[in-house]
Each structure stands twice: as structure tokens, then as C-alpha cells.
Amino acid sequence: VKRLALPMALGVLGALDLAACGGAPPPAAPARAAGEGRFGRPQVAPLRYDGAPQNVPSVDAPFRVSAPALGTDVAPDAPKVDSFSLANGLRILVVERHGFPMVAARLAIATSAALENDVGGRRASLLGGVFLSPFEGVVQTSGGCDVTGCFVASRGLSGELPQVLSRVADLAVNPRPDAGVYEQRLAASARVFDASQSPARVTLNALLFGRTHRYGGPSPVSVPTLAELETLRDRAFVPAASTLMVVGDTTLEEVRAHVDSRLAGWTGPTPGPDPRPPEAPREGPRLVFWVSGAIVQVWGQVAARGPAPRDRDFPAVVVLSTLLGGKIDSAIFHHVREDMGAAYTLGSSIDHYADASILAIGGSFDRDQAVDGMRAVLAAIAAARDAEPSADDLARAKAAVLAEYRSAASTDEGLATLLAEGTLVGLGPQIVQERAALVASVTAADVRAAARRYLAPGALRAVLTGKLDYAPELQSLGLGNPVVIDLARYKAQQPP
Amino acid sequence: LEVGLLHRNIGGCAAAVGFVAAVASAPAYAGDRVLPSLPVVRYELGNGLKVLLAPDPSLIDVSVVVHYDVGSADDPPGKNGLAHLVEHLMFDGSRHVAPGDYSRWIARAGGANVNGMTRVDDTNYFVTVPPASLPLIFWLESDRMAFLADRVSSQSINTEVQLISDETRDRVYDRRTGMLASMGRLNLFPREHPYHRDATAVDLMFCGLDDVRAFLRTWYSPSNATIAVAGRFDVAATRSLIDQYFGDLPASPPPQRPALPARWRVHDVRIDAGAGIPSDVVTFMWATPALGQADDAALDLAAEILADPQGRLQHDLVAAGLAVSVDAKEMSSPRASTFAIMAALADGAAPDAVVARIERAVSDLAAGVRLEECKRAQDEAFDRQMLRLEGSLGRATALVETPTAAASWNLGEYDAFGPAQVAAAVRADLVPDRRVVVVMHHDPQYPGRGVVLKTQARLP
């Protein structure tokens, strides 16, 4: 919970010998007497192990031979969601949970209508960075925007509901411009390629949706001025496009009273219809290799476009993703990690937007086994197309999907986030009630059909980031000739 | 997963409490805070296994954390990484659990948050499951506590050594400012101290079957373990299950660790490094009192005050245009803590100016703390504690990390420290002869983790 995520386990290249690193040497250690340590205290003897057994071997017992019976209550009870609306169009969802004296509030703002075709979500990112992030780093309050919408979240003790709602209202209703913050965010957005994983993430979206699509990019777009951002803010942050989630130790009546006094005066234009994004192209390169000398491992991802969250195929795609690598018991995880020793982290994920999703599988590979690891991932995808999963594999994958949902819904903030996501992608708040049944209804045939529909060979795209040593081998992946881009040169050529 | 000194979030300054069968509820805080009632049952089996049960029927799941009092600081000489290797092997099967079946059982049961974590001082294994799957977890955990060695082979060791190498490259070499931690450890702690560690100095190629078996015999026994269960479960049924699965495992007291120096001098080193990071980063680190010792909790509040988004460093560095973000933290650990201040510099800002501002901010804090900023810090710290206790996993983790805390879960402990105590702790502990300063200069020609360019003494 503490905030400074110092990578304390992380080390240097070998022992850090200060005297050998150049520059002025550190002060000489004081002369020490025999038996004294470097710091003038008695030297501590290192622990010694002689390997001699100190204990008595454990004795086996019949009840240890086989596993006890499993429970069947994998899915949590669906929460009861109450709702009401204000005259200005703001919708409020309330879930009462009185087990722990805390409350979480989350305001979701659908902004795609106001931002139109916001390529790569860059304007949204700036909008959130400039107007909704002044409290970044405070445990109670956060905010931001991406291509699916904006959010403001806050939480506190249950007795602090008025303050929690005030913090949300203050950010959403009175977002103030700050030229300094604007400049900082602009500078940060120009450094999108500095993180070692960023090139792969950005490129996958571009390969799957094109460079001018809302979910694609990156594309050289004109950067809005602060004044233009203010105009966008006035158009986007409106009550009629917003839903407020309140979850925790409170009551519907209490929420109603406090919301009314803080948000009933919020006004703004009614947003127009959400423009559908243009059809994404299916042609273009399928394999990109970013040459980067900055990382030792190789980041590799295989991805494909998936259905929108409200599509009837979506639950099957979620289960498919879990089967392929969403959890540590997946076959591909075991094969690539435990059998090959080729990747410490390997998994699958689904990024979902309002009108589409991305299913990605990959991880951080040992550089000597990266191509073999990617080949194994592609083979697992092919196997998913070719045959239905076994009943046991399917049952585990479905249980794992529900476990993830249960875990997310176990905290007030987690449940508020699930409700907000459901609202922004068009599933509605009822998704928290329907999810378990939707997952349970997925059949082995559904999963195979989803694999054939969304993971067809021609639909797959892949991106790798690493050193160039083995680029020629990439042709053997069957994704065509790789487009090879030198990351350092690319960054140097980017406009500010 | 191997992580370092960052040990716990709820500081512990309560006196040691013996492990006796007891049921207690959190007492009402004397001030205006409303504390939740979170009863805890504590007892110890005859073989020394410590048990902590925190039932709460309002939660939707139950979490189990098995804690072994052994960490990477206990790696034998010449066997760096052995504790981490054993943690990996714990997921590879045991006598009655075939290789690969541990994760299959967990998935089938609807398990979440499955992981193991090797730290300098201890090793923890986590899982969250639906309540009815609790017997399965005890079966799995007791089997690998007692019978892991049956499944360990040279092949499984070789595979995990390879994966640990991958993990080190992921988490150290390919991570921004990946060298910061070791810079801190190697310069803040004397060679004799177990925290004087370089995470990349791994000797796993010298670890074999005999080493793993000896390590297991020495440390992986009920006498050296604590099991915490938090969430929705029946106490009586759970006690019965724990007795069944762990009660017949033999006791094996672990070896005593040598005493450590209580205080030592740090040579106020400044290190300049080049790193392919988005902007320059200035980090101050101090060696500070261990978890639960005097000043540890007061330094938590000092960190809150410095890092407050409306506070001193924000004003002096971010609002002044010198930094884009600042943070401060007291990272509490059982044998010593580390206080850190980190600033990511704005474009064009001079690192020396930021170093000077941070020094001045610390000096100002030592001179005096305002009552209102202390109160804000107390509120912030309390909120963090509460957030952690909201879910079952946070509670189970808090239990094993603060086993000697009173039944209040240490909630409200920060209210005992006023402005005078915070300022006094800063004066006593955030001093030049306890610190190291690292300046990482943005330079794309270097890897993101950084390369040391220069070290220099800051004090004569």
C-alpha cells in the first residue's frame, strides 16, 4: 500500500565495487582491529549449513493420498444494484455492502462522442492528464482518460461519503486548466516509446486497426493547445454522458442526499450519438520487429482483433484467452515456461473497447529461445482452432475466469470499476449479475468456433522487441517478412 | 517472484504477544475514528506451527497465506538465490501432487491471486479461493510443506534455474532504474549485514539436489511457519482441518540467526549513473530503524508529509517546475528499514538544484512539523491501513507480516505520534551519515536500468 515502488530487489551488474566504478573513491574505511567488521563492530559470522538433517521425516497418512472434494461455489453472489438519475441526465448506481466501513465512488464519463475519432486515444490521454490527474498519487482519489472514456474515482471511510463525493464532483465539474501540468503531460506523451514494452503495445494496435483508427495509431496528429483542450473538456465532461458508481458501507438514501447537493447543478450539452469507428483494414504488415539494445530479454506478442464486449461471442473469447494463457495452469504456460524454460512471464490478455477487443498472447522470452517460444504460442493457437478443448480444460478455464471476476468484485473499488467498465463498453451495470451465467453457458464448441473466427492465420499479427541477432529466423513464424525498425533511430526521427 | 526489502505496510510497534488461543475484537479507537471489528483467533500447534484466523462472513472469499521465516538473506555462502529457487520448486509438485497439478487444482477450485514471494527476510505463499475449497488448500500446502523433496529432481532444478535467470533479466536488467535497489543495499548496509545484497549475484549454477534438500530440512517445517486464513470460513471447521493436515507434521526448530549490528556508519556516498530513462531521477536513501523500533512509525508519517500532493516536496519541486513527480516512503523491514525520497526531474531541471531542495526539505522537516500536516499524514496512513484490510488477501498478509500486533491490527497506531516525535525522528535518522544519494541522468546510450558513471563522497 505504500506508494514508492522502489524496485528493491533489483540489482546492479555484479557486485557494485565503488572503487572500480571510476570517479573519486569512497572514504577509506577506518583501520579495524582483528575480529572487527568494516564498521568497527564485531564481525557477524555468516550462517553456516552443514546439510545435516535436523528434523524427523514426515510420516505419510491415508488422507494425504488424494485431494479432498472440491467446492462448487466458484461464482460469488451477484450484487444488488440500485439506480436513479438526476434531472441533468447523470445516472447513479449504488451497491450497498455493509461488511467493512469504507465506500468507493467512481464516475465514468463516455467521451468518444465528444472526442470523435481520437486516434490512439491521444487527445483523451491528454485530457485526463491535464484535468483529472492533479490528485495522482493520493490514495483516495485518481482520474484519467483513455480511448473508451474518462473516470474519476475516490474512496474513504464510510463516514466520509460527503468528502468522497465532493472530491469526485470537484474534479469532474470544475476541472481547472494548469499550463504547467499541460506542458508536463505533453512532454510525457512524447516519450511513449521510452518504456521497453511500449513499442510492442503501440505497434500491435496499429497492425490490427491501422494508423488512423480510433484504436490504432500512432499517427502524427496535431496536438491540441490548452485552450482547445478546455473546449474538449466542456464538450466531454457532461452529466448526460456520465454514470456515478457508489459501492460500500452506505445506503441509497444517503447517496441520494449527498449526490443531489453536489452534482445536481452540473450542466452541459447532451452528447450526440457515438460515432462508429471506421472499418479497420485487414491488409498491411503482419510482423514487426523493433530492434532495441536497451533490453536483454525479448518481448513478443501475438494478437488478433476480437469482438466487442457486447457481442455474443465475447464470453467464449474470454474463455479462449484463459485456455491459451490466461492462468498458470494453461497448457501453453506449462510448455513454454516449465518444459522449455523459455519465458518467466507468459500470458494472454484481452483489451476491450466499446466496439472491438484485442486478444494478445505472449511474454518476455529468453533471447535464445524467443523464436521457439513464439512458435510454440502460434502452435497453441492453431491447436485451439483445430480441436475443441477437453471438458476438464474447459471447466478449469471457466472457473479461472470466474475467479478473476470474484477477486475483482471482492473490494468496493473493484466492483465499482467493473460497473464502470460495463457502462463504458455498452454492457450496462447488469453485467455484474449476468457474467457468471454467460461464462457458464460457454461450450467447447463455442470456444473452438471463436478460435476459428478470430484467430484465423490471416488475422494474426505479431510484434517483438529485442536485439537483432536472430531477425532472419522470424520468417519461419509464417507471418511473412518482418518489418524491422530500429527503435533508437525511430525515436530520433519523431516530431516533438 | 523475488522482491526485496519492502516488507510491510502496517508498521508494528506493539509489544510481543504470545501465541495463545484467544479471540479478541478490535477495541474502539479513543479518537474519532470508527474502527471495524475484525476478530482474530491465534494459537499454536504442538509442532510449533503458528495459526492466525480472521473470520469475516461479510467477505465473498477466503485467502490463505503460508509464511516461512526464511528469505534470501538466509542463502548459504556461495549459494545466492537458493531461497528463491526453493520457492519456485514449491509449485512443481510434491509427493501426492504431480508436477503441474498444483496450478490445475487451484484453477479447478476457482483460485485467484496464486503466487509465491521470496523476500530478504521471509517467503510467503498466497492464494484466494471460494470458501468451500479451503480443505484443498490445506491439502496442497501441507503436502508441499512436508513432502516437497520427493519431487525435486536435477531436471526440475535446472528448469527453475533457467526461469530465475529469465526473471532476473525481466525484473532487474530490463526494468527502468533496475540498479537503484542494489545501489542502496550495497551502500547503506555493511557487508556483515544480510541486507548487503546484490540481486544479480546469483550462484544457482552451484545449487544442486543436496542443497535444496538441506535447505528444506532446515527451514521448511511447521516450527518455522505461520499460516494465516482470512475471509469467509467457519472457525471450528477450519481449526479441525488445520489440525488434520498440519498437526502430525514433526517439529524441527530452525537455527538461530546471528546478532546484527544495531547501528553503523554509512559514508554519505553520491552515485551518478547514466540510464535510458525518460528523465533524470534523483533518489535519496537512508538506513533507518527496523520495523517496530522507535522512530519507524514516525518516519512513516514523515514520508507521508514529504510526499503529500499538497505538501512540501510538491511545492518545492513540482510546483517550482523542477520535477514532474516526487515520492517518499519508509520501507520497513524486520532487521532494518530504508527511507527513500525519489524525484523525477522536469526537462531542463538541474539535478544539483533538486538535490539541494530535497536536502533543504528534510532539514526543514527536522526543524519542525505543523500540526495540520501531521494530522493529514495520520489520516492518510490510517486510510492506507484500512484499504489493505478491505479484502481477505490483504488481511491474511497483514496477519503474517504483523503477527505480534495487538488485535487492533495496529489501526490507529500513527495517532500516537505528534509533530514533535516526527521531527525528532527526522533529526535522528535522516542524517548524512546514514544515507546514499543516487542521481540517474537521462542518456539513451545507456540501458534503462542504468550504468554507474561516478561515485563520490559527499562528506569529508
B76 and A2 within 8 Å at the Cβ level: the answer is no
A145 half-sphere exposure, CB direction, 13 A CA radius: 31
Poorest-pLDDT segment among A346-355, B175-184, B280-289, B322-331:
B175-184
A102 and B347 within 8 Å at the Cβ level: the answer is no
| β-sheet with A242-248: strand ranges across | A82-85, A91-96, A242-248, A102-109, A149-157, A141-146
Residue A138: closest C-alpha in chain B: B309
How far, CA to CA in Å, does A167 sit from each of A109, A132, A262, B373?
16, 11, 10, 19
How many angstroms separate the CA of residue A137 from the nearest CA in chain B?
7
pLDDT at A376 over 90: yes
Grid cell 488481511 is found at B395
Mutate to test the interface with B, among A3, A12, A344 (most CBs of B within 10 A): A12
A480 in Cβ contact with A324 (< 8 Å): no
Mean pLDDT of B80-103: 93
C-alpha to C-alpha distance for B418 and B137, rounded to whole angstroms: 44
Q: Which of A6, A21, A136 has its CB closest to that of B180? A: A6
For every residue of B128-193, DSSP letters joined together read EE-GGGHHHHHHHHHHHHHHGGGT--HHHHHHHHHHHHHHHIIIIITSTTTTHHHHHHHHHS-TTS
Mutate to test the interface with A, among B2, B74, B84, B166 (most CBs of A within 10 A): B166
C-alpha to C-alpha distance for B185 and B197, rounded to whole angstroms: 6
Grid cell 509449485 is found at B91
Structure confidence at residue A470 (pLDDT):
67
B276: contact with A, CB 8 A cutoff: yes
How many angstroms separate the CA of residue B277 from the nearest CA in chain A?
7
How many angstroms separate the CA of residue B77 from the nearest CA in chain A?
7
Report residue B139's pLDDT band, with 50, 70 and 90 as the boundaries. Answer: very high
**Helix axes B419-429 and B351-367, enclosed angle (nearest 10):** 130
pLDDT at B285 over 50: yes
How many angstroms separate the CA of residue B397 from the nearest CA in chain A?
12
Please, what sign has the CA dihedral across residues B445, B449, B455, B458?
Answer: positive
Interface size between A and B, measured as CB pairs under 8 A: 395
Residue B209: closest C-alpha in chain A: A51
How far, CA to CA in Å, does A487 sit from each of A193, A480, B47?
8, 21, 58
Question: Is A52 exposed, middle or buried (CB count within 10 Å of its CB: 0-12, 13-18, 19+)?
Answer: exposed
Report residue B31's pLDDT band, with 50, 70 and 90 as the boundaries. Answer: low
Close Cβ partners of B293 (under 8 Å, ≥ 6 residues apart): none
Q: What are phi and psi of B392, to 5 degrees?
A: -70, -35
Structure confidence at residue A98 (pLDDT):
92
Residues of B in contact with A40 (CB under 8 A): 264-265
B4 and A9 within 8 Å at the Cβ level: the answer is yes
Mean pLDDT of B224-245: 97
Structure confidence at residue B460 (pLDDT):
46
Mean pLDDT of B9-27: 31
How many angstroms separate the CA of residue A160 from the nearest CA in chain B?
11
C-alpha to C-alpha distance for B446 and B452, rounded to whole angstroms: 10
Percent of all residues in chain B with a pLDDT value above 90, rounded to a whole number:
53
In this structure, what C-alpha cell is assigned to residue A472?
A: 532472419
Name the B residues in 178-237 with CB < 8 Å from any A CB. Answer: 178-187, 190-193, 197-201, 210-211, 213-215, 217-218, 221
C-alpha to C-alpha distance for B39 and B163, rounded to whole angstroms: 41
Mean pLDDT of B226-251: 96
Q: What is the DSSP letter of A323?
A: I
Q: Where are the beta strands (DSSP E) in B351-442?
A: 435-442
B63: contact with A, CB 8 A cutoff: no
pLDDT at A118 over 80: no
A69 and B380 within 8 Å at the Cβ level: the answer is no
pLDDT at A383 over 80: yes
Report residue A37's pLDDT band, with 50, 70 and 90 as the boundaries. Answer: very low
Mean pLDDT of B342-367: 94
Report residue A327's pLDDT band, with 50, 70 and 90 as the boundaries. Answer: low
Per-residue model confidence as pLDDT tens digits over A187-205: 776 666 666 667 777 788 8
C-alpha to C-alpha distance for B108 and B105, rounded to whole angstroms: 5
Structure confidence at residue B27 (pLDDT):
32
Report residue A244's pLDDT band, with 50, 70 and 90 as the boundaries. Answer: very high
A138 and B309 within 8 Å at the Cβ level: the answer is yes
Structure confidence at residue A158 (pLDDT):
86
C-alpha to C-alpha distance for B17 and B38, rounded to whole angstroms: 17
A44 and B260 within 8 Å at the Cβ level: the answer is yes
C-alpha to C-alpha distance for A42 and A65, rounded to whole angstroms: 51
How many angstroms separate the CA of residue A398 from the nearest CA in chain B?
9
Q: Using DSSP, state whether A476 is helix, strand or coil.
A: helix
How many angstroms separate the CA of residue A167 from the nearest CA in chain B?
14
Residue closest to A304 by CA, chosen among A200, A202, A204, A235: A204
For chain B, what's the residue count? 460
Q: Using DSSP, state whether B221 is helix, strand or coil.
A: coil
Structure confidence at residue A175 (pLDDT):
74
Residue closest to A116 by CA, chosen among A354, A276, A347, A313: A276
Characterize the bridge pairing of strands A343-352 and A483-486.
unpaired
Partners of residue A374 on adjacent β-strands: none
pLDDT at A495 over 60: no
Percent of all residues in chain A with a pLDDT value above 70, rounded to a whole number:
81
B96 and A14 within 8 Å at the Cβ level: the answer is no
Residue A334: closest C-alpha in chain B: B100
Per-residue model confidence as pLDDT tens digits over A303-324: 999 999 999 999 999 999 999 9
Mutate to test the interface with A, among B125, B182, B224 (most CBs of A within 10 A): B182
B400 in Cβ contact with B140 (< 8 Å): no
pLDDT at B7 over 50: no
Residue closest to A55 by CA, chosen among B66, B149, B139: B149
C-alpha to C-alpha distance for B70 and B243, rounded to whole angstroms: 23
Residues of B in contact with A295 (CB under 8 A): 173-174, 447-448
Residue A66: closest C-alpha in chain B: B96
Q: What is the DSSP letter of B97?
A: B
pLDDT at B322 over 80: yes
Mutate to test the interface with A, among B455, B458, B459 (most CBs of A within 10 A): B455
Report residue A21's pLDDT band, with 50, 70 and 90 as the boundaries. Answer: very low
In this structure, what C-alpha cell is assigned to residue B94?
A: 510434491
Q: What are phi and psi of A482, to 5 degrees?
A: -75, 145
A474 half-sphere exposure, CB direction, 13 A CA radius: 29
Structure confidence at residue A55 (pLDDT):
61
pLDDT at B447 over 80: no
A23 and B449 within 8 Å at the Cβ level: the answer is no
Structure confidence at residue A17 (pLDDT):
22
Mean pLDDT of A244-269: 94
For chain A, what's the residue count? 496
Structure confidence at residue B42 (pLDDT):
93
Residues of A in contact with B257 (CB under 8 A): 47
A2 and B171 within 8 Å at the Cβ level: the answer is no
C-alpha to C-alpha distance for A347 and A362, rounded to whole angstroms: 6
Close Cβ partners of B198 (under 8 Å, ≥ 6 residues apart): A11, A12, A14, A15, A16, B182, B185, B186
Per-residue model confidence as pLDDT tens digits over A358-368: 999 998 888 88
Structure confidence at residue A197 (pLDDT):
67
Report residue A282's pLDDT band, with 50, 70 and 90 as the boundaries. Answer: confident
A218 in Cβ contact with A189 (< 8 Å): no
B219 in Cβ contact with B74 (< 8 Å): yes
Q: What is the ipTM of this complex?
A: 0.84
**Helix axes B419-429 and B296-307, enclosed angle (nearest 10):** 100
Mutate to test the interface with B, among A3, A4, A56 (most CBs of B within 10 A): A4
A194 and B135 within 8 Å at the Cβ level: the answer is no
C-alpha to C-alpha distance for B410 and B382, rounded to whole angstroms: 10
Mark out the alpha helices in B389-439 (DSSP H runs).
392-401, 419-429
Report residue A32's pLDDT band, with 50, 70 and 90 as the boundaries. Answer: very low
How many angstroms separate the CA of residue B170 from the nearest CA in chain A?
7
Task: Categorise residue B39: left if φ over 0, alpha if ψ from -120 to 50, beta otherwise.
Answer: beta
Structure confidence at residue A494 (pLDDT):
62
B251 and A412 within 8 Å at the Cβ level: the answer is no
How many angstroms separate the CA of residue A151 from the nearest CA in chain B?
20
Mean of the per-residue pLDDT values of chain A: 80
Structure confidence at residue A19 (pLDDT):
24
How many angstroms separate the CA of residue B16 from the nearest CA in chain A?
24
Residues of A in contact with B379 (CB under 8 A): none
Question: Is B276 exposed, middle or buried (CB count within 10 Å of its CB: 0-12, 13-18, 19+)?
Answer: buried
Name the B residues in 134-173 with CB < 8 Å from any A CB. Answer: 135-136, 139-140, 142-143, 146-147, 158-159, 162-173
Question: Is A385 exposed, middle or buried (CB count within 10 Å of its CB: 0-12, 13-18, 19+)?
Answer: middle
In this structure, what C-alpha cell is assigned to residue A199?
A: 513499442
A101 and B253 within 8 Å at the Cβ level: the answer is no
A23 and B455 within 8 Å at the Cβ level: the answer is yes
Structure confidence at residue B116 (pLDDT):
94
Q: Which of B110, B177, B324 has its CB closest to that of A403? A: B110
Residues of B in contact with A329 (CB under 8 A): 100, 103-104, 106-107
Report residue A139's pLDDT band, with 50, 70 and 90 as the boundaries. Answer: low
B6: contact with A, CB 8 A cutoff: yes
Poorest-pLDDT segment among A1-10, A391-400, A401-410, B220-229:
A1-10
Task: Please measure the distance between the N-terminal and C-terminal CA atoms of chain A and give it in whole angstroms.
Answer: 36
C-alpha to C-alpha distance for B218 and A54, rounded to whole angstroms: 7
Residues of A in contact with B213 (CB under 8 A): 51
Per the model's pLDDT, the better-predicted residue between B264 and A350 turns out to be A350
Mean pLDDT of B79-106: 92
Residue B34: closest C-alpha in chain A: A101
Per the model's pLDDT, the better-predicted residue between A482 and A254 turns out to be A254
Residues of A in contact with B110 (CB under 8 A): 74-75, 399-400, 402-403, 406
Structure confidence at residue A259 (pLDDT):
95
C-alpha to C-alpha distance for B16 and B30, rounded to whole angstroms: 22
Structure confidence at residue B2 (pLDDT):
56
B67 in Cβ contact with A290 (< 8 Å): no
Report residue A476's pLDDT band, with 50, 70 and 90 as the boundaries. Answer: confident
Structure confidence at residue B16 (pLDDT):
28
Poorest-pLDDT segment among A26-35, A52-61, A307-316, B81-90:
A26-35
Mean of the per-residue pLDDT values of chain B: 85
Report residue B163's pLDDT band, with 50, 70 and 90 as the boundaries. Answer: confident
Report residue B291's pLDDT band, with 50, 70 and 90 as the boundaries. Answer: confident
How far, CA to CA in Å, does B4 sit from each of A9, A10, A332, A439, B227?
4, 8, 30, 39, 21
pLDDT at A101 over 60: yes
Report residue A219's pLDDT band, with 50, 70 and 90 as the boundaries. Answer: low
Residues of A in contact with B432 (CB under 8 A): none
Q: What b/e readout covers B353-385, taking b as 16+ CB neighbours within 10 angstroms?
A: ebbebbbebbeebbeebeeebbebbbbbbbbbb
Report the run of H or E that residue A247 belongs to, with start and end: strand A242-248
Structure confidence at residue B289 (pLDDT):
92
Percent of all residues in chain A with a pLDDT value above 90, rounded to a whole number:
38
Angle ∠(B295,B296,B300) on CA atoms, nearest 5:
110
Q: Kindly report the three-state secondary structure assignment for every residue of A34-78.
A: CCECCCCCECCCCCCCCCCCCCCCCCCCHHHCCCCCCCCCCCCCC
In this structure, what C-alpha cell is assigned to residue B129?
A: 479461493
B31: contact with A, CB 8 A cutoff: no
Q: What is the DSSP letter of B316?
A: I
